[in-house]
Amino acid sequence: MTASRARCPVAFALPPGALLPALVLSLTLALMPGRPAAATPAPPAAAAPTVRDIAFEQVRKAALRSLRVSPYGKRAAMIVAARNGRHVVAVVDLPPTAPARTVGGFSNADVASVTWISDDRLAYEAYESGTEISLASTMAVDADGRNERELINWNAGDPGATTSTRRRVARLPYGWYLAGSPRDGSPDVYVEHLIFEGNGDFVETRLARLDTLTGDLKPLRLGVPDRVVARVLDAQGRIHVVLTPSGGRSRLQHRQPDGSWQVLEDHDAFSDDVLVPRYLEADGTLIVSTRRGHDTIGLYAYDLTRRKLDPEPLLRVARFDVDDALEIDAPSRRVIGANLVTDGPQTIWFSPRMAAIQQTSDATLPAGRINVIGCTRCETARWYAVWSGSDRHPGEYLLYDHQERRHYRLGAERPWLAEARNAAAAPYSLCLSVSSSRRSSPPRWPQPNALKRALTPRPRPSSDRSARSLG
Residues in Cβ contact with 156 at an 8 Å cutoff, skipping those fewer than 6 apart: 170, 171, 172, 173, 174
**What per-residue confidence (pLDDT) applies to 343?**
80
Alpha-carbon distance 249 to 211, whole Å? 36
Of 390, 354, 356, nearest to 370 (Cα)? 390
Alpha-carbon distance 328 to 233, whole Å? 13
The amino acid present at 301, given as its one-letter code, is A
pLDDT confidence tier of residue 32, bands split at 50, 70 and 90: very low
Of 266, 168, 241, 261, nearest to 209 (Cα)? 168
CB half-sphere exposure, 32, CA atoms < 13 A: 17
Q: Which of 155-164, 379-388, 390-399, 431-440 has the lowest mean pLDDT?
A: 155-164
Alpha-carbon distance 53 to 49, whole Å? 6
Supply the DSSP symbol for 403.
Answer: T
**What per-residue confidence (pLDDT) applies to 422?**
57
Question: If 0-12 CB within 10 Å is exposed, 13-18 middle and 19+ buried, where does residue 164 land?
Answer: exposed
More confident residue, 202 or 19: 202
The structure's pTM equals: 0.79
**What per-residue confidence (pLDDT) applies to 243?**
98
**With b meaning 16 or more CB within 10 Å and e meaning fewer, what string describes 216-235?**
ebbbbbeebbebbebbbbee
Question: DSSP labels for 278-312?
Answer: EEE-TTSPEEEEE-TTSSS-EEEEEETTTTEE-SS
Helices H / strands E in the chain, number of each: 3, 32
Of 399, 405, 402, nearest to 67 (Cα)? 399
Residues in Cβ contact with 50 at an 8 Å cutoff, skipping those fewer than 6 apart: none
384-402 average pLDDT score: 94
The amino acid present at 465, given as its one-letter code, is R
Pair 141, 166: CB distance under 8 Å: no
Percent of the chain topping pLDDT 70:
75
> In what helix (H) or strand (E) does residue 51 lie, and over which residues does it extend?
helix 51-59
Cα dihedral across residues 336, 338, 339, 342: positive or negative:
negative
Using the predicted structure, report yes or no on whether residue 431 has a pLDDT greater than 90: no
**What per-residue confidence (pLDDT) applies to 402?**
97
Strands 276-280 and 261-268: unpaired
Cα dihedral across residues 225, 226, 232, 233: positive or negative:
positive
Alpha-carbon distance 77 to 114, whole Å? 7
Residues in Cβ contact with 42 at an 8 Å cutoff, skipping those fewer than 6 apart: none
448-462 average pLDDT score: 28
Alpha-carbon distance 98 to 433, whole Å? 47
Percent of the chain topping pLDDT 90:
61
Q: pLDDT tens-digit profile of 117-140? A: 999 999 999 998 765 566 789 999
Q: pLDDT tens-digit profile of 189-215? A: 999 999 998 888 889 999 999 999 999
Cα→Cα distances 129→109, 151, 328, 414, Å:
6, 20, 32, 19
378-384 average pLDDT score: 97
Alpha-carbon distance 138 to 205, whole Å? 18
Q: pLDDT tens-digit profile of 40-97? A: 455 566 677 787 777 777 788 899 999 999 999 999 999 999 999 899 999 999 998 8
- Reported in sequence order, the residue ranges of 85-127 that DSSP labels E, i.e. its strands, are 87-93, 101-104, 110-118, 121-127
Using the predicted structure, report yes or no on whether residue 455 has a pLDDT greater than 60: no
Q: DSSP 3-state assignment of 380?
A: coil
Alpha-carbon distance 320 to 318, whole Å? 6
pLDDT confidence tier of residue 443, bands split at 50, 70 and 90: very low
Using the predicted structure, report yes or no on whether residue 350 has a pLDDT greater than 50: yes
Number of residues assigned to the chain: 471
Alpha-carbon distance 287 to 285, whole Å? 6
Cα→Cα distances 120→24, 77, 233, Å:
23, 11, 24
The three state secondary structure string of 239-264 is EEEEEEEECCEEEEEEECCCCCEEEE
More confident residue, 25 or 121: 121
**What per-residue confidence (pLDDT) applies to 29?**
34
